[in-house]
Amino acid sequence: MPNRMVHLKFDEYLKEHGIIYGYTYADVVHDRMDRDAQYYGHWFHREEDYYHCEEGIREWLEKWQHLAYQETLTDYLRVALGHIVLDDMDFRYHYDSEEELIKSAYRSFVQRGFHRKFFRVR
């Protein structure tokens, strides 16, 4: 599992490519995504934690809809999906550098269509 700094670098990469806005504070998302890592273990929390899937993320974000703008919640959704992709790529493949991991995760992120995901307030 990549450390927090790699996740934040990936967030910056998403910002540079116009996927999320520059002012989005994403630490709260990463805190949520990593919350149960100690309980389940670093690798197993990806499968066991309900909030490590799009449905779980959306349910969590619905609780925030009265506190944030839809654009911010969309950014949070994309950050969380990016977190999942980065964890997945790091688990499945070996990379010689963080830069290779980030570029590969970005390609996977786009191939999965995550760059077009939006959070809609119900």
Output b/e per residue, 8-32; b: 16+ Cβ within 10 A. ebbbebbbeeebbeeebebeebbeb
Report pLDDT digits (tens) over 86-112. Answer: 989 998 899 999 999 999 999 999 999
- Residue-level pLDDT at 6: 94
Long-range CB contacts for residues 12-15, cutoff 8 Å, separation at least 24: 13/102, 13/106, 14/78, 14/79, 14/82, 14/106, 14/109
Report pLDDT digits (tens) over 33-79. Answer: 877 666 555 555 566 677 778 999 999 999 988 888 889 999 999 99
Q: Give the type of residue at 56.
A: G
Interatomic CA distance for residues 57 and 54, integer angstroms: 5
Asked if the model's pLDDT at residue 29 lies above 60, the reply is: yes
Predicted TM-score (pTM) of the model is: 0.89
Token pair for residue 37?
């890592």
In 3D, which of 63, 52, 41 has the Cα closest to residue 86?
Answer: 52
